[in-house]
Amino acid sequence: MSYTRSENMSPDEKFSAIANLKDKLEENFIALGELLSEIKRSKLYRFKGYESFKDFVEAEYQLSGALASKLAVTFDLYIEEMDVDELSAKDIGFERLQLIKPMVQKADWEQRDYWLQKATETPTNELRSEIKELKKKEKEDHTDLKKVFIDQYLEKMTTWFNCSKSELNFKLALYFQDADLDGVKKTVKERQRAFEQETQMNTEETS
């Protein structure tokens, strides 16, 4: 079944199609992903009396909520957003599309094309190893920048208060004991997001 036909199905036909397709997931992950995406987006699972998409797929099809969401996102990202044709996506396969998804989601179009080509040409185990090493390096680079930031902060604060690090922790505890913690949490999240975005931009500029 081609993924382009599902829009003409009735709700019952869509529910039946999922049951037929899921037994051969690797062959049918695109059509299955489209159906699941539509049902999740339109909340069609309520037609069957369920309050959540997760409850619906797990009870009706013995399909984990996590896997169902991955299938839906795969269709949304590669077919809908990136306009990858069905045959090319099938040639790459569901597993390799999952492996490159974290890189593809945050990449520009040139990098997206690179990862699609990479996934097409590279065996699954080799692709998994390369991505694992890449993530490890990115994590190490990011951690190092955080460490630099922390060290600079500690030096600045211990100098300002003319105290040791342990004494600084005590002073900070005094400062935060009556603070608006919701407000502090919001500020920290905003600044962390800004720090990570700046770090990512700097990494891309120097790569």
Average of per-residue pLDDT across 125-150? 83
Asked if pLDDT for residue 39 goes beyond 80, the answer is yes
Please give the full DSSP string across 63-119, using - where no structure is assigned.
--HHHHHHHHHHIIIIIIIS---HHHHHHH-HHHHHHHHHHHHTS-HHHHHHHHHHH
Q: Where are the domains of the chain?
A: 3-122, 135-206
Band of pLDDT at residue 3, cut at 50, 70 and 90? very low
So what's the pLDDT on residue 15?
84
So what's the pLDDT on residue 182?
87
Average of per-residue pLDDT across 64-77? 94
Asked if pLDDT for residue 143 goes beyond 70, the answer is no
